[in-house]
Copies of this chain bind each other. A is one copy, B any other.
Amino acid sequence: MKAAVEEAQRKLNVYMRERGLKHTRQRDEILEAFFAAGGHVSIDDLLGQVQERMPGVGYATVYRTMKLFGEAGVAHERHFKDGQSRYEPVVDDEHHDHIICTVCGTIFEFEDPVIEQRQADIAAAHGLTVEHHRHEIYGSCQTPSTCVHRARAG
């Protein structure tokens, strides 16, 4: 499997070239740190990573860059309860959803045409067209000790 970061790089380059934006070392580093981290990174996390290789970098650059990544369709901004924005990589042409075992933390992916269709219907009923969605199911197997997934959990 090709590294997702390469796909992102291409996408980003196209986006930037289209509007005359420039390729800089900072953007490279941030992109790399972002994908290396895997997901749900905060600005602080990223800044910390990037500063190990480029000590001068400041918050503003990271903020601006993540916003750019968002516009380029490379990163997605999420908000949890801690008041900080967190970012996760956008994985293309495959909008799978997640089902997460609350016992062992295993994350499965699923995609269900029936649900997709219902979503479109519901949106239409409100006069909207679906752009994207987020769907996470949390559940558990029986008990921690009998958790079927534990073996394969990270």
Contact = CB atoms under 8 A, between A and B. Distances in A.
B126 A131 contact: no
A3 interface: no
Interface string A113-132: 01100110011001111111
A76 B101 CA distance: 17
Contact of A126 (B77, B99, B126, B135): B99
A126 B108 contact: yes
Interface string A75-104: 001011100000000000000000101100
A122 B100 CA distance: 11
A17 interface: no
Contact of A123 (B99, B129, B132, B133): B99
A136 interface: yes
